[in-house]
Amino acid sequence: MKALRALFAAMLGLLAATIQPANADPLAVKVGVIHEAHSRETISILDIPPADDFVAGARMAMDDNNTTGRFLDQFFSVVDAKLAPGEDPVAPLNGMLADGVRFFIIDLPPAEVLAVADAARASGTLVFNAGAPDDRLREEDCRANVIHVAPSRSMLADGLAQYLIWKQWRRWLLVVGSHPEDKLLADAYRRSAKKFGAKIVEERVYEDTGGGRRSDSGSVQVQRQMPVLTQSAPDYDMLVAADENEVFAGYLPYRTWDPRPVAGSAGLMPVSWDASHELWGAAQLQNRFERLFKRGMNARDNQAWVAMRMIGDAVAHTRSADPKTIHDDLLSPDFAVAAFKGQKLTLRAWNQQLRQPILLTDGRGTVSVSPQEGFLHETSELDTLGFDRPETKCKLQ
């Protein structure tokens, strides 16, 4: 019975695949995906970025958009440019601009985000930042042609902080890595602590002295290093780790001097998405991704998916592929994107950041979702996460 059903399903799949757009000349929407490969030096083997990291999410949303497009005579395609670390993104950008691409979904370091945004500006091109969490891109360095799909560090930190406050785990030991990104993340945690009334009892720094993350006898050393790193701390409830480059945070759970839980870059992690998230119908999205790419959907894949779905929805609404028309639709009060997070996601008009709940995951399931109950806001409770309108430094131009 099961086998028959599977065969039947496969036949139907073939049928569906052969259905072409009704019109011979559909509205074509080309989307450039420019992304820098992330380091394969991860603490857990499970976190090594796959070959199709990030772009897989855009590709699945392209399929979703094309299913809608089948009914509306619209056709979406993805042009992929995967860069080695440090490679100039403006060269592939210019190539695609010359080919008429006017929408870009990017996962690049902050300086490269700005370089792409500024190089794309003259052509009226719209750029979706689906990777960089830097607050400065949404604040003092914001750009009118950039939409931020990825949550900022301040949104992620606030998402975790609200939950720790709700739990009454107010005393944090903050352990910060030695990379510039770690310092920015630590700034975000300090800001969250102040905003919601937590106390950072002490800060410690973990110096990255180089070397491989995974080796056969590494665990012996790690078991001795982590207690020393966390020894003689003032009384605290939660260790909060700021380690974006995966140098040490993954070693902390179960190895701290005092028996304390870990959050931040390991343990209970604030994220936009996790392969284990299945609430609010997300299981449907995870199933589709698993079927297409034979792996789980990570946060980067999901951010690229959301960006591509935003383009798809706006093109469907407006029946246009003009970036100005799409941009206006995305900012209109009627626009909302459904992303399996229990509520609609909309754009903050003042800096074009996507409002979104922050998932708190342990990598096995969604532990909680922020904003937490009781954190109120006059317009949207989602605006209790990250920099809000009254404090913004962004002047869109």
Residues in contact with other proteins by CB under 8 A are 5, 8-9, 12-13, 15-16, 19, 64, 67-68, 70-72, 281, 283-284, 287-288, 291, 309, 313, 316-317, 334, 336-338, 342-344, 380-382
- Phi, psi for 363 (deg, rounded to 5): 85, -5
Q: Which is nearer to other proteins, 175 or 385 (CB)?
A: 385
Q: Which is nearer to other proteins, 257 or 335 (CB)?
A: 335
Q: What is the DSSP letter of 48?
A: S
* 3-class state of residue 71 by DSSP: helix
Distance CA 10, CA 20 (A): 18
Distance CA 97, CA 109 (A): 20
212: left (phi over 0), alpha (psi -120 to 50) or beta: beta
Smallest distance, Å, CB 9 to other proteins? 6
- Phi, psi for 272 (deg, rounded to 5): -80, -25
Count of residues in the chain: 397
Q: Which is nearer to other proteins, 15 or 45 (CB)?
A: 15
Q: Give the alpha-carbon dihedral of 293, 368, 184, 384, to 10 degrees.
A: 120
Smallest distance, Å, CB 179 to other proteins? 35
Smallest distance, Å, CB 361 to other proteins? 21
Smallest distance, Å, CB 2 to other proteins? 9
Query: Tokens for 168?
Result: 């009454």
Q: Which is nearer to other proteins, 145 or 384 (CB)?
A: 384
Q: Which is nearer to other proteins, 114 or 308 (CB)?
A: 308
Beta bridge partners of 348: 353
Q: Which is nearer to other proteins, 177 or 386 (CB)?
A: 386
In the chain, how long is the greatest CA-to-CA distance?
72
Positive or negative torsion for Cα 162, 164, 165, 171: negative
Smallest distance, Å, CB 71 to other proteins? 4
Nearest of 150, 144, 158, 151 to residue 240 by alpha carbon: 158
Question: Which parts of 167-320 fold into alpha helices (H)?
Answer: 180-196, 218-229, 282-293, 299-318
Q: Which is nearer to other proteins, 1 or 122 (CB)?
A: 1
> CB of 38 within 8 A of CB of 53?
yes
Smallest distance, Å, CB 283 to other proteins? 8
Q: Which is nearer to other proteins, 15 or 84 (CB)?
A: 15
Query: Tokens for 37?
Result: 């490969």
Distance CA 275, CA 289 (A): 10
* 3-class state of residue 321 by DSSP: coil
Q: Which is nearer to other proteins, 72 or 79 (CB)?
A: 72
Q: For the packed helices 90-98 and 110-120, what is the interaxial angle rounded to 10 degrees?
A: 30
Smallest distance, Å, CB 278 to other proteins? 11
Q: Which is nearer to other proteins, 73 or 208 (CB)?
A: 73
Beta bridge partners of 33: 80, 105
Smallest distance, Å, CB 183 to other proteins? 33
> CB of 263 within 8 A of CB of 269?
yes
Smallest distance, Å, CB 387 to other proteins? 19
Smallest distance, Å, CB 288 to other proteins? 8
Distance CA 156, CA 88 (A): 28
